[in-house]
Structures are given as C-alpha cells and as structure tokens.
Amino acid sequence: TQLLEQSPQFLSIQEGENLTVYCNSSSVFSSLQWYRQEPGEGPVLLVTVVTGGEVKKLKRLTFQFGDARKDSSLHITAAQPGDTGLYLCAGAAYNDMRFGAGTRLTVKP
Amino acid sequence: KAGVTQTPRYLIKTRGQQVTLSCSPISGHRSVSWYQQTPGQGLQFLFEYFSETQRNKGNFPGRFSGRQFSNSRSEMNVSTLELGDSALYLCASSLVAELYNEQFFGPGTRLTVL
C-alpha cells in the first residue's frame, strides 16, 4: 500500500500543452520532494517544499504544498519533449521517507 | 564534483546466491541511503547510514543488510536471493542525516535474479 498516491499514473500529451500531476496522502509530512527520473538513471531532485501552502517555481514548473502538508501538485506549462520522464513525489516524516509510485509523462513533439 | 557512483551497474545472479552492491557518495556527504525500485512497488526505502551507523531502516527482511565505512562509502548485501529481489537498487547521498535534506541519487545497480 502506497502512503503517497500519485495521479495520473500515465500521461501522454503534445508539446506545448499544460499539465498537472498530483501527490496525495492521508499523512502529514514535514517536507515533500519532487524528483524526475529518466530511463537508466537515478531520480534527480527538482524541489523540496516544507511549509504548508508553499509555492515554488522552477522555470516552467510550479510546485505547491497543500495547506495541511498532506498533498502536493506539480504544474508544467508549455510542456516540452525534454520534460518526458517519471515524476516521483516523496514525503518525509519522523525520519522516514516514502515515495509515490510516480507519474510517467510522455511529451510528444 | 563527481556524483554518486554505484558498482556494478548490472548484475545477474541465481536464487540462493548472495550479492554485494557498492556505493560511493559525493565527496563530503556523510549520509547514504539505499532504495529498492520495482515496477510493482515503486521506490522503497531500505536503510540509511550516517557516520558508519545505521540510523533508519525500512520494512525489509534481515536478508538485506548494509554497512558504511569511515570514508562514507557504503555496501549493501542481500543473502539467499529470491526471484522477487530482482530490482533496481539505488543509493542516495546527502550532506547530513536529515531525510528532508537534498538527496543525490546514483544511477543504480540493476539486479536480475534467475
């Protein structure tokens, strides 16, 4: 059973479209991280959010941490083929880190 | 600065054998965490070492063990391999032992158990 539920599991869109992926839990986390993983590589950290309601922007990527620190979203504007990959969220609580199963994003040119 | 390195990158073993995987963290990083990644279960936390001490442990059987050396390099051992142990094993390093600290992952070791 995943403590962190990510949706959708799979997403295939055209270049230039916008998208949002979600990471939800019934647990409260002290921090939440988003990673992107490409085939044959380890996950690469994109952002860490620690404060409820926090919004962070990384170029075309916008990350939001829920007010109750139980959920998060990642919004990508004008997606590009280079955004293709597996997006993972990970929540930290009481020295334990749990990962979601991921959203596999494909951006077609 | 060199990233996290893991050796070997690929490994094929048979049931009942044991295997040792190695991880060299980024220079100066003292915390090393190990994860197992499978298509069905996703990324699952195995254990974390800091200053040669295991600080945190995930919910895995005792067949999975690890250690950390004084130079922060870490090894993970799996004994009596089972088919279900086939997975990508990832190592991540960070400066300190707080899990919310930025973790840098290696490329992983892909273990196949036949």
Query: If you search the block for the tokens 């990233």, which residue do you land on?
Result: B3
Chain B contacts to A (CB-CB under 8 A): 4, 33, 35, 42-45, 55-56, 58, 90, 92, 99-100, 102-108
Per-residue pLDDT at B97: 64
Ordered per-residue pLDDT tens for chain A, 109 residues = 457 999 999 999 999 999 999 999 998 988 899 999 998 889 999 999 999 999 999 999 999 999 999 999 999 999 999 999 999 999 887 767 788 999 999 999 9
Q: Using alpha carbons only, give the angle B101, A10, B44 rounded to the nearest 5 degrees.
A: 40
pLDDT tens string B38-91: 987 888 999 999 999 998 888 899 999 999 999 999 999 999 999 999 999 999
Per-residue pLDDT at B67: 97
DSSP-derived 3-state class of residue A45: strand
CA distance A13 to chain B (A): 22
Query: If you search the block for the tokens 């990350």, which residue do you land on?
Result: A63
* pLDDT band at B2; cut points 50, 70, 90: confident
Whole-number Å distance between alpha carbons of A90 and A99: 4
Enumerate the β-bridge partners of residue B31. B50, B94
